[in-house]
Amino acid sequence: METKTEAVNTTVRVGPIRMANPIMTASGTFGSGREYAQFFDLGALGAVVAKTVTLHPRPGNPPPRVCETQGGMLNSIGLQNEGIEHFLREEMPFLRTLPVPVLASIAGHALDEYVRLAERLAGTGLAGIELNLSCPNVEGGRLFCGDPDRAYQLVEKVRRSTTLPLVAKLGPESASIMEDVARACEAAGADALSLVNTFPAMSLDVRRRRSRLGTMTGGLSGPAIKPIAIRMVWEISRIVKIPIIGMGGIMTAEDALEFILAGATAIAVGTASFANPLAIPEIIEGIKSFLNEEGIQSLDELRGRLNI
């Protein structure tokens, strides 16, 4: 006999991308999924966003690259990766086996690099492309996200070079800048926005008189940034019509539901998977349980429905 839980509809659409549930992986936290496949069925995911890839191999930043903080973690990986040709040759064959939508995440120092990456990804079976406009751990990492005109130019150029859905990943800029950048990305043809990326932050070793990272600063993620990230999702959801993928400190199903209530269509989970490899399937099941308990048949009944 069919249970009430089975009748709950968790499907969402991020632009043209249909997902069985709203939970996807945050780029840079899940690799291509091979390691996590030993812990749970990757088919349970709403979507996979692979680690950001660049046109040419990048060695990344000097170690140490990660340190724990109160309520989160700092990372300064520096977009280490083997480049697009390695990604296509070594990672895409595995990613194509996954029974869920897969998005590649791309980054570059110049507009043309994004365009060339998007062109190389055509015809590979991807469901979409994430444009990483906001990595704080590389030189010039906020070049596009902090400038509405440059963000528009980038998205518009990539839009003309590919038919794949585009997700623009934004960083934690000031409220006025982020609103302008969000509007610019939407006007340029982005199918969705993803926010927010990690916050530039520091952690210092007072005895050694130096940073706990190999670089002076890194990107702060984890529960410490969740209240700020939710506020940003809420603000941006009121000024754009395209879907928003919310992220930032999501550790539990209730965290994810807060983002949906604030206006997010989908949720990206990152740091939680480092602490608990089963965090994502637990969050998915927790959302289903909540909807069942509340008598909610679809996430549309919850999204953006704040009592104000």
Which token pair is 190? Answer: 């982005």
Contact 49/27 with Cβ under 8 angstroms? yes
**Residue from 67, 135, 145, 185 carrying the catalytic annotation:** 135
Which token pair is 161? Answer: 């070079």
Angle at 146 between CA 142 and CA 148, to 5 degrees: 135
Any catalytic annotation for residue 67? no
Whether the CA torsion 3, 290, 15, 55 is positive or negative: it is negative
Angle at 247 between CA 242 and CA 251, to 5 degrees: 145
Rg over alpha carbons for the chain, rounded to the nearest Å, is: 18
Helix (H) or strand (E) holding 152: helix 148-161
Q: Write out the E strands in the chain.
A: 12-14, 17-19, 23-25, 48-49, 66-69, 72-75, 102-106, 128-132, 166-169, 192-195, 199-201, 204-205, 210-211, 218-221, 244-247, 266-269
Q: Which residues are catalytic?
A: 135
